[in-house]
Structure 1
Amino acid sequence: MRSNLVEALIGVVVLVVAGAFLYVVYTKTDVSAGSGGYRLQARFDQVGALSAGSDVRLSGIKIGSVVDQRLDPQTFQAVVEFTIADSVKLPSDTIIKVGSEGLLGGNYLQVEPGGAPDNLVAGEEVQFTEGYVDLMSLVSRYVFSSEGGNGSSSGN
């Protein structure tokens, strides 16, 4: 009987620790940020590895999350829906860019507010966007274009 009581107490302790862990994860990772705020959307030619749950940042601070992304079958552009915290009012001429954490990091939406007097409202589409820039393709273009230039001038 005594071993059953010890096992039950250990089980309760494990459940309490697991609950505390989940609470800390929920509060520290800001899981609830995607549910609040107002929704906006933007169109991009290229989004890279951006996905639902990616951050939306202003001055490096998370102000929202990417909620959904889909392909527009008419324009073949990526349509990205995201939320912005209610406390952040963005001017209508705001620029949204797809940023990168680094060479191996993930992508996020970078917000650069404009100076227009009127603000974006829920459901509106951001007009000014810049898509993802693939650094590896830029480097390979530079390398191959400089090789071609050297090869033709040395043939003289």
Structure 2
Amino acid sequence: MSTNTKKGLINIGSFVLGFGFLGALDGIVFHQLLQWHSVIMETDRPGQIASDGLFHFAVTLTLVLGGILLWLAGNPTSLSKGIRLLVGGFLIGGGAFNLIEGIVNHHLLQIHRVKPGDPNALTYDLAFLGLGILLLVIGYFIKRGGKSQPTTLGA
């Protein structure tokens, strides 16, 4: 397998794994432990359990897919670079989950809020998005490995 193919699989696999992990963490913490919300709030409890079950099934499949992609990538040619790609991509994927889920479900579709019914519900929603941005930024810098990137002025 070529180095570029291996790097591509590590990039995609770590992103997918991070995306699925943050999805699972969201479901475990916000849906089950804190019971702040369900995927679809405007249903009876059995409907909420079914929507959460479908969500958990989807993130489980995402975790499995990420693991398979990383397994297919095999051992990285450089361990330190492989770890940077794995951790960076994982954090970028997790941040992407928070941003996509937060923007789509909390704001565009208004399916649920992070903590519905709370007088500070918007603060919770914005903190959720802020965490997504923070994960993306940290993941980017880890993946980049502290190297300064050349900048160009103009288009």
Structure richer in strand, relative to its length: 1
If the length of structure 1 is used for normalisation, what is the TM-score? 0.23
Tell me which structure has the larger Cα radius of gyration.
1
If the length of structure 2 is used for normalisation, what is the TM-score? 0.23
Structure richer in helix, relative to its length: 2
